[in-house]
Amino acid sequence: MSLRFVMLRVVAAFFVCLPAPFTSTLGARQGGAASAPQAGGGPMKEPFGKTKDGRPIDRYTMKNARGMEADVITWGAIVTRLIVPDRAGKSGDVALGFDTLDGYLGTHPYFGAIVGRYGNRIAKGRFTLNGKTYTLAVNNGPNSLHGGLKGFDKQVWTARSVSAADGQAVELTYVSKDGEEGYPGTLTAKVTYTLTNDNALRIQYDLTTDADTVANVTNHSYFDLAGEGAGDILSHEITIDADRFTPVDATLIPTGELRPVAGTPFDFRKPMTIGARINAEDEQIKYGKGYDHNFVLNGQPGTLRHAVRVSEKTSGRVMDVSTTEPGVQFYTGNFLDGTIKGKGGKVYNFRYGLCLETQHFPNSPNSPSFPSTVIKPGQSYRSQTEYRFSAAK
């Protein structure tokens, strides 16, 4: 046996005995074994636990070179983590939620979830389509909220990494069968999250159906730009590009009126702190226990246009929301009450987060004057929303 052959054997044995690559720090957070990034620098995929009936849930992590990260799981297509740099370049998580799957499997107010088949409220849990009345679960006073008892937020979605020209992307799909939660038609929902290279989280919604149905799908993330659990959001400053809003009755169903915001606590056409008028002696404020209202966005629905700006002075973080939707539900966490412990054991108290749910209007199936939420076979429905982050110096 030649000396050269012996040396080759020794070198080969050395490489065989090398330890497996060290798992990512993200995988270490949950103790899961993280997979390698997808080809082309795509999202990282790793296990995130199992549902109560044993179905595996995965987490996808998207990153960019500017310090932003976003985690999405296949339970409810939930955004579980959103890391954004502040003015000093220090990263912080601005999305309320939980550290483990167990929190999301329990009762919570839709933290980070995709809600549907119909996000927001439908009056008295019923609507009529093509002359037939459909009955839905009533789960919010006398009304149906966010798709019913087991909406899109409580389903297992299938997911895959997809290519994106300007960042990393994950596509999640859920097929809602005919009759699920009382809705007609089998609806296929695809939601694509893209973390762009210039610090935007883009959400694209694509819906198709095999029969006439209604749908209104949105994301229900709760934001605190100072960092989740840091305190209430009353000092955040907000601008909403809306001349009108939809006033509601005592059960938070729109009356059908498109009311001008001028002269009301709902006028955010110029920057205003959220807390400035949140306790005003106003019937609409009292109904919502704060802000929990749909704003009629200016501009042409169907075109991507700026809708909302939120800023937080301590961190310098700024969030700009653009959407193709006709409306946005501005909600100030009025039903957070300190009973939920979130990430790191932080208690989420009253008004510790704000939601900006881009949408068609609540109760549209029962309001002919509102933009239609009917989807028909052969038609494709596409909506897009961007949450773009920056930091003021």
Asked if residue 24 belongs to a domain, the reply is: no
For the chain, the domain total comes to 1
Distance spanning both ends of the chain, measured CA to CA = 70
Residue 11 maps to a domain: no
Collect all residues with Cβ–Cβ distance below 8 Å to 315 and sequence separation of at least 6: 86, 87, 92, 225, 226, 227, 391
- CATH code of the domain containing 350: 2.70.98.10
Residue 8 in domain: no
The answer to whether residue 17 is domain-embedded is: no
Q: CB-based burial of residue 1 (10 Å sphere; 0-12 exposed, 13-18 middle, 19+ buried)?
A: exposed
Determine the distance from the C-alpha atom of residue 155 to the mean position of all C-alpha atoms in its chain, rounded to a whole number.
Answer: 15
* Backbone φ, ψ for residue 356 (5° rounding): -130, 90
Domain membership of residue 206 as a residue range:
30-391
Question: Which one of the listed residues 220, 236, 293, 360 is annotated catalytic?
Answer: 220
- Whether residue 312 lies in the annotated active site: no
Q: For every one of its 393 residues, what pLDDT tens digit does the chain have, with 9 covering 90 and above?
A: 443 333 334 333 333 333 333 222 333 344 345 554 444 479 999 999 999 999 999 999 999 999 999 999 999 999 999 999 999 999 999 999 999 999 999 999 999 999 999 999 999 999 999 999 999 999 999 999 999 999 999 999 999 999 999 999 999 999 999 999 999 999 999 999 999 999 999 999 999 999 999 999 999 999 999 999 999 999 999 999 999 999 999 999 999 999 999 999 999 999 999 999 999 999 999 999 999 999 999 999 999 999 999 999 999 999 999 999 999 999 999 999 999 999 999 999 999 999 999 999 999 999 999 999 999 999 989 999 999 999 998
**pLDDT at 41 (0 to 100):** 76
Please pick, among 46, 69, 181, 357, the residue that the annotation labels catalytic: 357
Cis peptide leading into residue 277 (ω within 30°): no
Judge whether 363 lies within some domain. Answer: yes
Domain presence at residue 6: no
DSSP, collapsed to helix, strand or coil, labels residue 153 as helix
Residue 117 lies in a domain: yes
Q: What is the pLDDT of residue 393?
A: 85
Contact 82, 201 (CB under 8 A): yes
333-348 core/surface letters (b: 16 or more CB in 10 A; e: else): beebeeebebbeeeeb
Widest pairwise Cα distance in the chain: 95
Q: Measure the CA angle with vertex 365, ends 325 and 116; round to 5°.
A: 60
In a domain? residue 165: yes
357 belongs to the catalytic site: yes
The first and second tokens of residue 295, run together, are 């704003």
